[in-house]
Structure 1
């Protein structure tokens, strides 16, 4: 969503989803739960589209990629196969032939949820005080630095 005139508008990164107007934070964390990169999108944007763009920019050679069912797309799996990465992603319910995945390693996916929990302790992020995406992302960066330092 843009505010202001069509030429000089400012990006808000707010979109309508089932819960109303929301902003999604897409994040990639390391094996310790520390943030590596993140991106803001409107609430209507699907996770797998942004996830593919973020994974495409990373070197995933011989690494395990843990993600939830929303990231079980042929495009993401093909990207991981090209980079010799190991996908630990459960199959979607509608996949005709379910894929094999390691359930023990998948238990470590809680680290991304822990990252979001730590970041949302900052009320400014949890309630989206900042109107513009640039200032919201700046504070998210500051909160991520605090997660790294903790």
Structure 2
């Protein structure tokens, strides 16, 4: 099972989409864009999400794709390398999620129970943001 996530700038998860392990990465994009959070300005992703139709779809929605092109492009599209460096924030969010052993080892057999535990782990990550620090 693959986890596709939305994250904010502070490495906190906003939503998850689960797909099968054999599914292509970009097949989860329409579901991710349907998550009811604020409209993102950038779509940071790795080469697995590279494709003309995805870039066009994102631009139609007013979202700038920051996706490095695959090596097989004859004329690769340009992407903002400075913005792409912020992809490490998303990777760090996944590392924080994987601190929960149950997420890292995927003990749960059903999609429903695994997504429920992902939601609980996300709530634990968000909790320090709501605590009064005085």
Please state whether the residue corresponding to 1:54 is helix, strand or coil: helix
Query: 2:132 — aligned with what?
Result: none
1:48 equivalent to 2:54? Answer: no
Matching residue of 1:77:
55
More helix by share: 2
**How many residues are aligned here?**
127
Give the 4+ runs in structure 1 shifted more than 4 A. 56-59
Superposed CA deviations along residues 63-108 of structure 1, whole A, max 9, x for unmatched, are 1211111111112111111122211111111122111111111110
Aligned: 1:131 with 2:109: yes
Matches of residues 95-134 of structure 1 in structure 2 within 5 Å? 95-134=73-112
TM-score normalized by structure 2? 0.85
Q: Is the 8 A contact 1:60 1:80 kept in 2?
A: no
Which structure features the higher share of strand residues?
Answer: 1
CA RMSD of aligned residues (A): 1.7
How far off its partner does 1:123 sit?
0.8
Which runs of 5 or more residues in structure 2 are unaligned? 129-134
In 2, are the aligned partners of 1:56 and 1:79 still within 8 Å (CA)? no
So what's the TM-score if we normalise by structure 1? 0.77
- In terms of Rg, which structure is larger? 1
Q: Is the 8 A contact 1:52 1:75 kept in 2?
A: no
Alpha-carbon distance in structure 2 between the residues aligned to 1:115 and 1:148: 11
